């Protein structure tokens, strides 16, 4: 009875600790607004006001960038196939919102408030798995026929055995063959309802299906929460990712504004960036506008007074008015120069930060590749050594097989000789008789000569 009570106490204490940990984690992340996307992604791309989707983000990446394909890989978690991005900003665009391709700007991300391991749709067939980013307006509740409208350029296909490979991009199906493979596949409808938030997403091929197809065990990771934005990390069987609860109310959307917004001007090759104030700066702007309105009112009153004053008094006051206007112009010009210099310093700092991040990512990628190459060479050398040892073992066995019959024949011959001693005795007299006859022949010839 005491043992049962002690076990119950241990289980209750463990449940209390888990609940406290969950509460602390939720408090650490908290409920945030869309402003966290606007602020955290600003150094890594450009925010633009789209005529259909509102504020959208264009990443500063290479020309061959494809969402859920470049600089990342898939792992199995309790939520299904989860995308792990090597980008510092990958916690947001690959787990919130939707992607679509624009012929002028390339891939564009539309922010949203619902988290998922990956907002993609899946297909399988012909020995391949395939996936494609969900476009804005697509959800799993619509008809399956609507997914056939996703362009073929969105789809990525790899053989079954490379779906969870760290470098699966080396085994892509070539673009000219994507349409052929697509016609051999069907939609995977596995889905998951996340966190009771009425969020449902596709999970892709299940762990059992992958294990049955590839005939190897699949490791399943658990997803843990990070307290601040950053790169998704994997350690000790856990995927650590920043996934706050985003407030998507109308008031939150109205308060959240990107600091810099590029105009959608497709006629120009460049992007004209317009300065937009954050909420704190907006209040300062309103106060400045009120002061400007008050100054204009004062100027109007002064103008009315000048109209009513005599001409002689007006002539006396004109030099002071010119001096005040010149001083005002100088002050406005100085303020404009200071603002431009601050903007230039901020731009340089952001570009330096991006360059440092890219260099660090490149160095880490090169180190990972070098370690993998060293491991591969070591494995090949080990295999070669094992093969050489096997060949030596086979040669030794063959040599022993060849020597064994000789060792067996020699004792047999000795045994035969010991068992038949008469043959040896008979051979000796025969040899002696031959020698005696040979000696007698010359003696007889000599006697004949004498006679």
Residues 113 and 244 occupy one common structural domain: yes
Instruction: Report which of 209, 205, 199 is spatially closest to residue 122, judged by C-alpha positions.
Output: 205
Residues 232 and 344 occupy one common structural domain: no
User: Residue 68: what pLDDT?
Assistant: 95
Arithmetic mean of pLDDT, 422-428? 48
Gap between the Cα atoms of 141 and 266, Å rounded: 34
Q: What is the pLDDT of residues 324-334, one digit of tens each?
A: 666 667 777 77
Is 450 within the bounds of a domain? Answer: no
Is 112 within the bounds of a domain? Answer: yes
Q: What is the pLDDT of residues 279-311, one digit of tens each?
A: 445 545 555 666 666 677 677 777 766 666 555
Is 95 within the bounds of a domain? Answer: yes
Residues 104 and 240 occupy one common structural domain: yes
User: Residue 410: what pLDDT?
Assistant: 64
Residues 225 and 349 occupy one common structural domain: no
Residues 89 and 226 occupy one common structural domain: yes
Beta strands in 219-363 (DSSP E): 220-225, 233-235, 238-241, 245-246, 260-262, 273-275
Give the DSSP H or E segment for 400.
Answer: helix 311-419
Of 385, 400, 415, the last residue of a domain is 400
Residues 65 and 200 occupy one common structural domain: yes
**Domain with 135 in it:** 26-275
Is 194 within the bounds of a domain? Answer: yes
Is 321 within the bounds of a domain? Answer: no
Number of domain units in the chain: 2
Is 288 within the bounds of a domain? Answer: no
Label the pairing between strands 72-77 and 220-225. Answer: parallel
Q: What is the pLDDT of residues 305-321, one digit of tens each?
A: 666 655 544 444 454 55
Is 200 within the bounds of a domain? Answer: yes
Q: Which two tokens stand for residue 199?
A: 């969020």
Residues 77 and 160 occupy one common structural domain: yes
Of 211, 246, 275, the last residue of a domain is 275
Q: Is 200 left (phi over 0), alpha (psi -120 to 50) or beta?
A: beta
Is 448 within the bounds of a domain? Answer: no
User: Residue 193: what pLDDT?
Assistant: 78
């Amino acid at each position: 009875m005491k043992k049962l009570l002690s076990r119950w106490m241990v289980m209750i204490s463990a449940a209390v600790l888990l609940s406290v940990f969950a509460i602390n984690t939720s408090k650490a992340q908290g409920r945030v607004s869309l402003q966290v996307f606007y602020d955290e992604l600003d150094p890594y791309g450009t925010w633009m006001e789209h005529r259909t989707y509102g504020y959208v983000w264009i990443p500063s990446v290479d020309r061959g960038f494809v969402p859920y394909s470049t600089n990342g890989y898939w792992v199995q978690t309790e939520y299904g196939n989860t995308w792990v991005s090597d980008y510092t900003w990958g916690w947001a665009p690959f787990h919130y919102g939707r992607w679509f391709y624009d012929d002028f700007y390339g891939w564009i991300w539309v922010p949203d408030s619902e988290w998922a391991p990956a907002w993609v749709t899946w297909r399988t067939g012909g020995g391949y798995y395939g996936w494609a980013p969900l476009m804005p307006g697509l959800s799993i509740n619509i008809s399956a026929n609507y997914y056939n409208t996703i362009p073929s350029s969105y789809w990525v296909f790899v053989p079954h055995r490379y779906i969870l490979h760290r470098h699966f991009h080396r085994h892509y199906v070539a673009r000219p063959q994507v349409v052929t493979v697509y016609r051999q596949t069907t939609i995977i409808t596995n889905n998951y309802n996340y966190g009771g938030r009425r969020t449902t997403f596709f999970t892709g091929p299940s762990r059992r299906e992958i294990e049955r197809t590839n005939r190897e065990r699949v490791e399943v990771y658990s997803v843990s929460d990070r307290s601040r934005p950053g790169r998704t990390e994997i350690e000790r069987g856990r995927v650590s990712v920043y996934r706050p609860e985003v407030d998507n109310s109308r008031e939150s959307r109205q308060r959240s504004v990107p600091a810099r917004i590029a105009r959608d001007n497709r006629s120009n090759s460049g992007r004209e960036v317009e300065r937009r104030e954050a909420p704190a700066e907006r209040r300062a702007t309103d106060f400045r506008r009120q002061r400007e309105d008050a100054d204009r009112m004062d100027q109007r009153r002064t103008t009315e007074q000048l109209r009513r004053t005599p001409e002689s008094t007006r002539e006396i006051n004109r030099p002071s008015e010119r001096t005040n206007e010149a001083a005002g112009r100088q002050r406005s010009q100085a303020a404009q120069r200071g603002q431009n210099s601050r903007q230039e310093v901020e731009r340089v700092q952001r570009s330096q930060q991006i360059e440092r991040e890219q260099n660090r990512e490149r160095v880490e990628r090169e180190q990972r590749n070098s370690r993998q190459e060293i491991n591969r060479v070591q494995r090949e050398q080990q295999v070669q050594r094992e093969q050489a040892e096997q060949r030596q073992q086979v040669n030794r066995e063959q040599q022993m097989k060849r020597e064994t019959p000789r060792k067996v024949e020699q004792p047999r011959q000795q045994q035969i000789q010991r068992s038949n001693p008469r043959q040896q005795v008979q051979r000796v007299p025969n040899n002696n008789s031959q020698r005696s006859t040979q000696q007698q022949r010359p003696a007889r010839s000599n006697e004949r000569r004498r006679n």
